[in-house]
Chains A and B, each alone.
Chain A
Amino acid sequence: MKRNLKQKIAIKGLLDMMPLNLAVLPWGILCGSLAIQRDFSVLEALLMPLVVFAGSAQLVATELVANNAPLATILFTTFIISSRHFLYGLALREKLSVLPHRWRLSIGFLLTDELFALSGHRKAFIGHYRLIYALSSGGSFYLSWLLWNIIGIFAGSYLPDLTSLGLDFAIAVTFIALVIPSISTLPIFIAVVVSGIFSVIFKLLGWQLDLVFASLIGMFAGFVSARLLPRKLVNNEQTKVSGEGIK
């Protein structure tokens, strides 16, 4: 009975992550095949998704390594692209820092944009079952990313470029499906609108830290409006942030 429930929860984690697992296929293949084109050995190309496990950071770092950029440049650029994760760690600190080592280390390793997207539920990561959910959704994303990279490494030269197929729309729409239902208060709505507008502006300006800055400005806008707006416009539901998660 208990085992049955665990299985069900693991499957739910897998299914919730599935749209994102599939949507990143073109970029996984691109990462793998780019590494090989840029003269990485098969081992090196495999280690990128295996231990670096990043999307745009992996892609940019591969190009920089291939162009013989100075090590400091490669590391600093990767640091900038990855810096949004500091925000995720901070946001989830209270829930994750109290976990036993093995849970904390594994969920920490798996804490991508995609897992963070599924972590909005008030009770995410609380209790054994929600940890299983996180591990299966985050773990399935890791394995998918690895698999797409492997396909790119070994078959990349035979495959067309799939990134123009529009699968990035699937990523966008999954995030829409997670964010929109979470807009339960006016301050959250303001945070979303402000963050959206600034993300477009900063992206057009070509800033490396576009995502981080846009998010921070959006967060401040939400925070300030929660304090300034009359109470009746701000009900106290702010902990109910995005996410299907486990109901």
Chain B
Amino acid sequence: MTLLTILLLAVITFTSRYLFIHPKMPIRLNAKMRELLSFSAPAVLTAIWVPIIFIQEDKLNLSLANPYLVAATAAVLVAGKTQSIYLTLIISLVVFVALRTLL
């Protein structure tokens, strides 16, 4: 029974990823839709990372003693200045670890 459930779950996750890239799907994206979708990557990725920074244990944490918030601010600054993934990762992770150890 669990096995069948798992296979059905697989069908759902695969379909959610594959359906709209299937060529036979009768969808034609017009210019407006394409423009709207051009914002999908920054919008979706932001909707993933922002809650990680601001919400801990189901509560909004705007405190300056929130290591996520301080280190993320550093990450935004470094990413904006250098555009380097690795530099952004290294510097903000150092800030993050330092703050978690100190606070």
Q: Which residues of A contact B (CB under 8 A)?
A: 16, 19, 40-41, 43-44, 47-48, 51-54, 57, 61, 65, 71, 74-75, 78-79, 82-94, 96-98, 104-105, 107-109, 111-113, 116-117, 119-120, 166, 168-183, 187-188, 191-192, 194-200, 203-204, 206, 210-211, 214-216, 218-220, 222-223, 226, 238-239, 241-244
Contact = CB atoms under 8 A, between A and B. Distances in A.
B2 interface: yes
Nearest to B23: A97
B16 A83 contact: yes
A228 B18 CA distance: 34
Interface residues of B, number: 64
Contacts, number: 273
Interface of chain A: mostly helix, strand, loop or mixed: helix
B9 A196 contact: no
A87 to B, nearest CB: 6
Contacts of B40: 87-88, 90-91, 215, 219
Given A44-B2, A71-B5, A196-B47, 5 more contacts: A52-B9, A83-B16, A174-B85, A199-B50, A218-B42
Contacts of A170: 89, 93
B64 interface: no
Q: Which one of A83, A180, A181 has the highest number of Cβ atoms from chain B below 10 Å of its Cβ?
A: A180
B14 to A, nearest CB: 6
Given A91-B41, A215-B40, A176 B79 contact: yes
10 contacts: A44-B6, A52-B13, A71-B5, A91-B41, A104-B22, A166-B67, A172-B53, A173-B96, A176-B92, A218-B43
Nearest to B87: A177
A112 B16 CA distance: 10
Interface of B: 2-3, 5-10, 12-14, 16-23, 25, 27, 29, 32, 34-55, 58, 60, 67-68, 71-72, 75-76, 79-80, 83-85, 88-89, 92-93, 96, 100
